[in-house]
């Protein structure tokens, strides 16, 4: 079963007038990982689609999504798949790819329908593509690993880059995830902007009684959205995206836009945040 919804882009002047529920309606994405379902959110920010597939005891097939206006989902799109569950299988163009937890599969434009089976909980990210890049499975050992932060500043973390120019070729999708050491809770500080790309976060490995406070908005008009486990948030190009948790957690980040340069960002000085 495929379920879908659309989120429209809004400007920062409108965003700063929204109350808590309205902010969540525009940017927070909950209820993604439902067994036996593919759930997709079509964002008008750079036309990124984020979602999930949880096959359970059956097989799910991603093929036609009316919002894309194409016969098959990947006719003019590329796809990144992150497994945040048990061992699962993703079937593409007659080939089965076994994904363990934490592994990522890139699927190129024109690959046809995509099947999901097994015990995986698959997080999906898709962006428009102008050419076909090779489908590729990236295991943990193949990811680019960047260690940053320190325990003293509560941001000791490891950034694992999977869909990155030094790891796997894509058209515009950049994707990976960040894991925090015990006792570290702050992500993406100092904050930054990149007006040339939008971003989406999925927070996972969040304890049932823990939460992450995701900070968004213009640097001088920040707001927060409270996030639980396996919930996603859409970050517009004009917004900072950072946060702090009540315990350690992991978050998947993904970007789409004008380039695939991970370091293309405009740092916001701590003194400029409000």
**165-222 per-position pLDDT tens digit:** 999 999 999 999 999 998 999 988 888 888 788 999 999 999 999 999 999 999 999 9
Domain borders along the chain are 2-267
Which helix (H) or strand (E) segment is 15 a member of? helix 12-15
Which residues are CB-contacts of 98 (< 8 A; sequence separation ≥ 6)?
A: 87, 88, 89, 118
In this prediction, residue 196 carries a pLDDT of 81
In this prediction, residue 93 carries a pLDDT of 94
Q: Tell me whether residue 26 is annotated as binding.
A: no
Q: List C-alpha distances in Å: 18 to 15, 80, 222.
A: 6, 32, 12
Q: How is 40-54 classified by DSSP, letter by letter?
A: EEEESSTT-EEEEEE
Instruction: Domain 2-267: give its CATH architecture.
Output: Sandwich (2.60)
CB-CB contact of 170 with 155 (8 Å): no
In this prediction, residue 146 carries a pLDDT of 95
In this prediction, residue 85 carries a pLDDT of 97
pTM for this entry: 0.95
Q: Tell me whether residue 241 is annotated as binding.
A: yes
């Amino acid at each position: 079963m495929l379920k879908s919804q659309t989120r429209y882009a809004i400007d920062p002047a409108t965003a700063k007038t929204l109350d808590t529920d309205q902010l969540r309606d525009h940017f927070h994405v909950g209820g993604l990982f439902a067994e036996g379902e593919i759930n997709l959110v079509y964002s008008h920010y750079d036309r990124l689609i984020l979602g999930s597939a949880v096959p359970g005891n059956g097989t799910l097939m991603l093929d036609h999504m009316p919002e894309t206006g194409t016969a098959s989902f990947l006719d003019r799109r590329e796809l990144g798949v992150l497994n945040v569950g048990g061992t699962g299988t993703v079937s593409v163009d007659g080939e089965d790819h076994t994904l363990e937890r934490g592994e990522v599969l890139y699927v190129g434009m024109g690959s046809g329908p995509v099947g999901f089976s097994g015990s995986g909980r698959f997080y999906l990210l898709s962006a428009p593509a102008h050419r076909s890049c090779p489908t590729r499975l990236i295991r943990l050992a193949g990811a680019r690993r960047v260690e940053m932060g320190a325990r003293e500043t509560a941001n000791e973390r490891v950034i694992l880059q999977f869909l990155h120019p030094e790891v796997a070729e894509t058209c515009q999708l950049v994707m990976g995830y960040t894991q925090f050491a015990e006792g570290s809770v702050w992500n993406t500080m100092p904050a930054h902007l990149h007006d040339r790309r939008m971003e989406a976060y999925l927070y996972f490995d969040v304890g049932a009684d823990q939460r992450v406070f995701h900070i968004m908005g213009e640097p001088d008009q920040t707001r927060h959205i409270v996030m639980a486990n396996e919930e996603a948030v859409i970050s517009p190009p004009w917004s900072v995206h950072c946060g702090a948790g009540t315990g350690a957690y992991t978050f998947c980040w993904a970007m789409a836009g004008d380039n695939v340069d991970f370091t293309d960002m405009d740092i916001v000085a701590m003194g400029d945040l409000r």
